Chains A and B, each alone.
Chain A
Amino acid sequence: MSSPVVELKNVTKVIKGKKIIDDLSFTIEEGEVFGFLGPNGAGKTTTIRMMVGLMGISSGEILICGKNVKKEFEDALQNIGGIVENPELYKFLTGYQNLMQYARMVKGISKQKIDEVVEFVGLKDRIHDKVKTYSLGMRQRLGLAQSLLHDPKVMILDEPTNGLDPAGIREIRDHLKKLTKEKGMSVIVSSHLLSEMEMMCDRIAIIQNGRLVDIQKVHDYVQESKQKYFFEVEMKNIASLQTSGIDFEKVENGIEIEMEKDEVPNMIQLLIEKGIRIFEVKPISKTLEDRFIEVTTQGEKLHA
């Protein structure tokens, strides 16, 4: 129903003979929050900079709303609002004067629009103060305001939560949610903070060494049909389990078994029949972090 808002086709970036980004392809749909995850140096920032035209593309192409970033730079960038790393603004200007700078660079931004954006990010009281006097959180908000001035279809945020305190992070998250819900904007976020991504994103791409390792919906990452369960049991009758053909792992104070949820009552019954006393049964929820490490640590495959 909706055409992709951002489309990367076989994007490669070579710097000094080294492939930084290797044949990257993916698409981002309208209204989704797309996370871009990877260890430091994986190529997240490079990819984002190619999308916004800060870096050249060695081969392949990037389309923003169908416009080629390389060939139709102005048309493509018209649809993008972005913050690349910490928003560096002109410290000797006031917040408002900063916004005016950016407003002058795009056609048809009214004073009303500026006020509206200022209101949205909640900087109304301090907008006429010099940016020098702003806290990092306020600068981050001004950076957000700057990127919203021209009503872009895509927001690109590179490490938006770097250096922010938990309250600031939460604020950014709330703003992003509002933007996607109310304005149907697509958001691309890069980060190495997994917990953050888990809360913010609909879909996550993991890249490593410039290659796309995995791309999945967040829910699929976290909730798989099979899951591990922890049974806190009395260890003395455990030996009888070994002969029954159940695949389990011994851990401290109990055992871990992987199975589907439906099987849990049967398993409990089985254990009781074997004379094993159970104190507690709980699912071990797999966090994104586990998945991330799983995917990025090559060679070590926990799942056969």
Chain B
Amino acid sequence: MHKLIMNEWIKIFKRPGTFVMIGLLILSVLATGVLTKMYGNHPKTDHTQWEQQVSQEIKQDQKQISELPPTAVNVKKNLERKAAVNQYRLDHKIPPVNGTTGWTFINDSSGLISFAGLFTIIIAAGIVASEFGWGTVKLLLIRPIKRYKILFSKYMTVILFDLFMLAVLFVSAAVLGFALFGTGDGNNVHLAYSNGTVVEQNMLLYLIKTYLLTSIDVIMITTMAFMISAVFRNSSLAVGLSIFLLLMGGTVTSLIASRYDWAKYILFANTDLTQYFDGVPLVEGMTAGFSIVMLLIYFFVFQLLAFGIFTKRDVAA
């Protein structure tokens, strides 16, 4: 199997387009970094007084919490989280991050994940359809290897390529971030709030987790693009539809969600799992468990279609 994946990997990296994609991704990180450096805010507040500021914030938040109507559960939760984290800072003498550091830059760069996703989708859309387009599918499928293995190796390659693009994004953001903004004051912990307690987390692990969580929608849409590619043998259709959904899916879904409850069954209502950690679920009553089940259902439907049709199809082209 690893040899099949190697084959696919070579086919991707022997095409100049791939390097254009990687170049564009790094360029976008570079542009973000330079712009942040030039126009970003550099607060020069006296850092020794952070304890006063933080305790003031806590008081404000608590006041707000007591004034909230009982229906605003999520807002209350958010404020409670903020207050708890701030209290933890006071208790353990961990100052809040001041301005941009290398770490926050990596965090901010996670916004570029959908850009990396765009390129992964292009690869996913082409990986089966191109073989039909080039006519090479005939020589590929007359090897003594069952078709599902070939398709699976292609899917694995797409996922690996997604991880590779994430790594490129992460590393270039880290290199640029630390070069431009430094490492901050050295206490690189992320304070996470879960089940009413604050826990310290390694910053690096936290960031990697954020990157992976944010990639869920990319992976889902990539899987869909892969399915369209395998079923319709048409890479333009797969690219077009997938990118349209990547860009518009969320907006359209939230439009529908404002009127109808069934919006929660739409794929894009469930791809953003961070909504359950800090935010408001799209439709009331949605839980993380529900979203994960929905994602799994979509995932298996896509794969079933892709594998079912690809392994049975007559290759006549």
Contacts and interface: CB of A to CB of B under 8 A. Distances in A.
B314 A49 contact: yes
B136 A90 contact: yes
Interface stretch (B9-17, B47-55, B231-239, B288-296): B9-17
B314 A56 contact: yes
B312 A56 contact: yes
A88 B138 contact: yes
Interface residues of B, number: 23
Interface in B176-230: none
B252 interface: no
A75 B144 contact: yes
Given A93-B14, A104-B7, A105-B4, A55 B316 contact: yes
Interface string A65-82: 000000001111110101
A84 B312 contact: no
Contacts, number: 78
Contacts of B6: 104
A302 interface: no
Contact of A54 (B10, B11, B134, B142): B142
A239 interface: no
Given A49-B314, A101-B10, A105-B7, A54 B141 contact: yes
B314 A106 contact: no
B143 A97 contact: no
A53 interface: yes
B7 A97 contact: no
Contact of B143 (A83, A88, A105): A105
B146 A73 contact: yes
A248 interface: no
Contacts of B314: 15, 49, 54-56
Interface residues of A, number: 35
A146 interface: yes
Contact of B315 (A54, A75, A78, A146): A54
A53 B7 contact: no
A92 B126 CA distance: 15
A150 B136 CA distance: 18
Nearest to A91: B134
B122 to A, nearest CB: 16
A16 to B, nearest CB: 11
A77 B139 contact: no
Contact of B139 (A74, A88, A93, A150): A88
Contacts of A54: 138, 141-142, 314-316
Nearest to B143: A105
B145 interface: yes
Contacts of A86: 135
Interface string B135-170: 110110111111000000000000000000000000
B11 to A, nearest CB: 7
A80 B144 CA distance: 9
Contact of B134 (A15, A77, A80, A88): A88
A102 to B, nearest CB: 7
Interface in B94-144: 134-136, 138-139, 141-144
Interface in B12-47: 14-15
A102 B315 contact: no
Given A54-B314, A55-B316, A104-B7, A73 B144 contact: yes
A84 B138 contact: yes
Contacts of B146: 73-74
A90 B139 CA distance: 10
A89 B143 contact: no
A87 interface: yes
Given A49-B314, A97-B14, A106 B138 contact: no
Interface centre among A80, A89, A90 (most CB of B within 10 A): A90
A75 B146 CA distance: 10
Contact of A77 (B4, B7, B144, B315): B144
Nearest to B2: A104
A259 to B, nearest CB: 49
Interface string A210-233: 000000000000000000000000
A105 B10 CA distance: 14
Interface in A138-153: 143, 146, 150
**Which 6 A-B pairs rank lowest in CB-CB distance, beginning with the nearest?**
A88-B135, A77-B144, A54-B315, A104-B3, A55-B314, A78-B144
15 contacts: A49-B314, A54-B141, A55-B314, A73-B144, A75-B144, A77-B145, A82-B142, A86-B135, A88-B139, A89-B136, A90-B11, A90-B134, A93-B11, A104-B6, A105-B7
Interface of B: 3-4, 6-7, 10-11, 14-15, 134-136, 138-139, 141-146, 312, 314-316
